[in-house]
Amino acid sequence: MNQLLAYLTALIINVVAWNQLQTVQDQQLAILDVTQPGFVLGTHTSWDSEMLKYVDKQNSIGTDSPTDLVALSDIGYPYQFIRSYVLSDLTRLMNDARAAKLDMRIVSAFRSYDTQQSLFNSYAKRYGVTQANRFSALPGFSEHQLGTAIDFGNGHSTDLSDSFFYQPEGAWLFRNAYKYGFVMSYPKDKQTYTGYIFEPWHYRYVGVDNATALYNAGLTINEYSDREAQRLSQWLESARLVVGLDESLPVSRPILP
Ligand SMILES: [Zn+2]
């Protein structure tokens, strides 16, 4: 009887563990985001993989283009576009900046694959490919193609340079952008990691909760994703050890005692 009980308990534990692993495999970070303590973005109930999509010099989004782009007409930029869910926080940012007597401008928002291609080509022609690659992205590799990145500027100059950081608008963004859901993608001390020069004008929208968590943790979006991927693999490894899953077997069925 005791043996049967032990068998049934072990069976239940394994089935539960197996189901959890399946869920993790199916939804990947989604489940860990809300269930695992210590996750930076743990307050989120839904993981928006679209919002936190990994894009850098090695990871392309191909020719993808958002389908919900809206013009920034109401804030004075009828020819600039952004994904619809960014609009209200961006409008709030621009209004608050104006209320703070800042001359905040939007220099660039969504850029299509083709636009990025022409832009990179023109930089490459002017500065050479290697130099162009330090501040511009090849088509398919730009956060601007996501429709959630903005290059800010001010009335003095729309020429993007690191002096923007020391101007009132750049300094204000650095301190406040997260309150509107924006994160600086290419900070000064992370050039080796990002592959980009310091870009105090380039921010990407990830929602207020995400941006606040990242700002407090001092992480870029990609640093966070890398860290979580590592944590996920460690967690899966420890889950295997705890429930005694045989690593040589594919996790496709419960391992019975
Ligand atoms: Zn940019």
Segment 164-168 shows an average pLDDT of 94
99 C-alpha to ligand 1 centroid (Å):
25
202 C-alpha to ligand 1 centroid (Å):
4
- Give the per-residue pLDDT at 157: 66
Residue 246 has pLDDT above 80, yes or no: no
- Give the per-residue pLDDT at 184: 97
Q: Which long-range contacts (CB under 8 A, 24 or more apart) does 228-231 make?
A: 228/29, 228/32, 228/39, 228/40, 229/29, 231/32, 231/36, 231/39
245 C-alpha to ligand 1 centroid (Å):
46
Residue 180 has pLDDT above 90, yes or no: yes
182 C-alpha to ligand 1 centroid (Å):
13
Residues 83-119 pLDDT 10s = 999 999 999 999 999 999 999 999 999 999 999 999 9
How far apart CA 239 and CA 251 sit, in angstroms, is 12
43 C-alpha to ligand 1 centroid (Å):
28
Burial (CB count within 10 angstroms: exposed 0-12, middle 13-18, buried 19+), residue 33: buried
Burial (CB count within 10 angstroms: exposed 0-12, middle 13-18, buried 19+), residue 228: buried
Question: Which ranges in the chain are annotated with CATH 3.30.1380.10?
Answer: 69-218
Q: The tokens of 140 are what?
A: 């398919």
15 C-alpha to ligand 1 centroid (Å):
48
231 C-alpha to ligand 1 centroid (Å):
29
- Give the per-residue pLDDT at 247: 56
The pTM score is 0.76
24 C-alpha to ligand 1 centroid (Å):
34
- Give the per-residue pLDDT at 197: 92
28 C-alpha to ligand 1 centroid (Å):
29
Residues 104-159 pLDDT 10s = 999 999 999 999 999 999 999 999 999 998 889 999 999 999 999 999 999 876 66
184 C-alpha to ligand 1 centroid (Å):
10
Is residue 77 helix, strand or coil?
strand
Residues 35-58 pLDDT 10s = 333 344 443 433 456 788 889 999
- Which has more confidence, 21 or 255? 21
18 C-alpha to ligand 1 centroid (Å):
43
144 C-alpha to ligand 1 centroid (Å):
6
52 C-alpha to ligand 1 centroid (Å):
16
Q: Tell me, which fold does domain 69-218 have in CATH? A: Muramoyl-pentapeptide Carboxypeptidase; domain 2 (3.30.1380)
191 C-alpha to ligand 1 centroid (Å):
15
38 C-alpha to ligand 1 centroid (Å):
31
Segment 176-205 shows an average pLDDT of 95
- Give the per-residue pLDDT at 37: 35
- Give the per-residue pLDDT at 129: 93
- Give the per-residue pLDDT at 237: 77
Residue 243 has pLDDT above 70, yes or no: no
96 C-alpha to ligand 1 centroid (Å):
22
- What's the mean pLDDT when you consider all of the chain? 81
Going by pLDDT thresholds of 50, 70 and 90, the confidence category of residue 245 is low
Among 9-13, 28-32, 92-96, 226-230, whose mean pLDDT is lowest?
28-32
